[in-house]
Amino acid sequence: MLDKQGIAKRIAKEIKDGYYVNLGIGIPTLVANYIPDDVDVILQSENGLLGMGPFPFEGEEDADTINAGKQTITKLPGSAVFDSAMSFGMIRAKKVNLTILGAMEVSENGDIANWKIPGKMVKGMGGAMDLVASADNIIVAMQHVNKAGESKLLPKCTLPLTGINCVKKIVTELAVLDVLPGGGFKLLERAPGISVEEIIKATAGKLIIEGDIPEMVI
Amino acid sequence: MNKVVSDADAAIRDIEDGMTLMLGGFGMCGIPEKSILALVKKGVKNLTCISNNAGVDDFGIGLLLHQHQVKKMISSYVGENAEFERQLLTGELDVELIPQGTLATRCMAAGYGMPAIFTPAGIGTEVAEGKEVRNFNGKDYLMEMAFNADFAIVKAWKGDRLGNLVYRSTARNFNPVMAMAGKVTIAEVEELVEPGELDPDNIHTPGIYVHRIFKGENYEKRIEQRTVRKRDN
């Protein structure tokens, strides 16, 4: 079973040289720590920055330089700053190659729910609806089951949706799965020490298993 | 031409109860903190505020919420504010949550003189309820209307007395698109300079969009999430 760092490490392998990438809050943010040195990537932060760098050294925080999670960050050489309309313009126009975000539920046709739980305080969708509506390449990083032990990979989402037919790949603590265009979660890899049976048990939606499923290499 | 006013009080002098205001900033980064303090002092009520976030309890728009000056918030994310949550749950405050890109682009549309935009954000979700959907090239898009705000209040780094503005780093965020979108636009700046001192090739907001400008003193620029890394010795 993978921990959060493990999920982030596995997702980092999906990032290709030359990509512009938008990382959501939570596990997706950790992905930046595992991008190999020989893979040249530019991180987009939707508050208006391309070329996001690591956290500043203590004492060098700049209140004017934050990421979309409102954390103090740095700008790398070659970075560019722009306004919020342009930021979502480049997202809508599919200039960002890969979007990685968290989810509460994903359905077997690629619908995602990640912004609202009825009856709880709703904080808002931020930029998530814009990102999932436009990006061609969306990877979800999440736990396979919720705290109650219920599967988060479902035939149909039960929570209010963030977007429809959009998730392409899911990486959880148990498995890597593709969401097929015609519907269904295709099992690609098992987490170390996890059996196919355990993944079947944790997946409520249609699971497609073809041949031997390799253990993931991270 | 001189758009300079003496201070925040003078800049917001004719903002009245019930008006719709745009307020720039992302989190607490690049918010017009001096104008917000002046609005708190003036005590105008029943405001509709269009702003990506709603501040925290003791800073930014949170200060207006504490004085019950806000009737409605139009935002994309409002999480960091206990008084906000209380007023929302008691029904004192109306909140319209909209996708962040939609928020920015509805401002942009107003500033570009376009009545509406089409965006895929929200298709298939509750955001789409009651809105016109159009299909272009096989994909559905929601029609979203340009905002109509009585005042836009923005914060820039530098500005001149003609209202030309330059922002600094990610404090730019919503400020340029809101500056273009107000019937009256107020800009507060850290440095007020003479015309000619700003490079015409590097103006972010041309002065034609700005009606009033003033220099704010002693910006607090509060940091919401102070994240740092240790130095390797």
Partner-chain residue, chosen from B52, B97, B169, that has the shortest CB–CB distance to A64: B169
Q: What residues in B contact A47, CB-CB < 8 Å? A: 26, 29, 170, 173
Contact residues on chain A for B229, CB-CB shorter than 8 A: 54-58
Interchain CB distance below 8 Å, B177 and A47: no
The tens digit of pLDDT for each residue in B159-182 reads 999 999 999 999 999 999 999 999
Percent of chain B with pLDDT over 90: 93
Q: How far apart are CA A202 and CA B125, in angstroms?
A: 26
Any CB–CB contact under 8 A between B140 and chain A?
no
Inter-chain CB proximity A164 and B229 less than 8 Å: no
> A84 and B126: CB-CB below 8 Å?
no
Tens digits of per-residue pLDDT, B77-105? 997 788 888 898 899 999 999 999 999 99
- Helix then strand then coil, % of chain A, to nearest 5: 20, 30, 55
Q: Which residue of chain A comes nearest to B222, CA vs CA? A: A63
Which architecture does CATH list for A4-46+84-208? Answer: 3-Layer(aba) Sandwich (3.40)
Our answer to whether residue A105 is catalytic in this structure is: no
Q: Per the CB < 8 Å rule, is A89 touching B105?
A: yes
Measured N-to-C along each axis, helices B100-111 and A84-92 cross at an angle, to the nearest 10 degrees, of 110
**B202-209: average pLDDT:** 98
Closest CB to A88: pick one of B78, B100, B221: B100
> Which residues touch B134 (CB under 8 Å, ≥6 apart)?
B118, B140, B141, B143
Question: Out of A46, A108, A173, A189, which one is annotated catalytic?
Answer: A46
- Which residue of B94, B173, B218, B221 to mutate against A (max A Cβ within 10 Å)? B173
Residues 148 through 187 of chain B touching chain A, CB cutoff 8 Å: 157, 167-177
Give the residue extent of every domain in chain A.
4-46+84-208
Is B100 in contact with A54 (Cβ distance < 8 A)? no
Cα dist from B151 to B30, B121, B125, B164, B225, whole Å: 17, 26, 31, 17, 29
**pLDDT of B231 over the 90 cut:** no
Model pLDDT for residues A64-98, shown as the tens digit of each residue:
999 999 999 999 999 999 999 999 999 999 999 99
CA gap B97, B77 in Å, rounded: 7
Q: Which residues of chain A have pLDDT under 50?
A: none
Q: What is the pLDDT of residue B217?
A: 96
Mean pLDDT computed over B27-48: 98
A123 contact residues in B (CB cutoff 8 A)? 77-79
Q: Do A84 and B225 touch (CB under 8 A)?
A: no
Interface size between A and B, measured as CB pairs under 8 A: 176
Total residue length of chain B: 233
User: What's the average model confidence in pLDDT over B195-217?
Assistant: 98
Task: Say what the pLDDT of residue B233 is.
Answer: 59
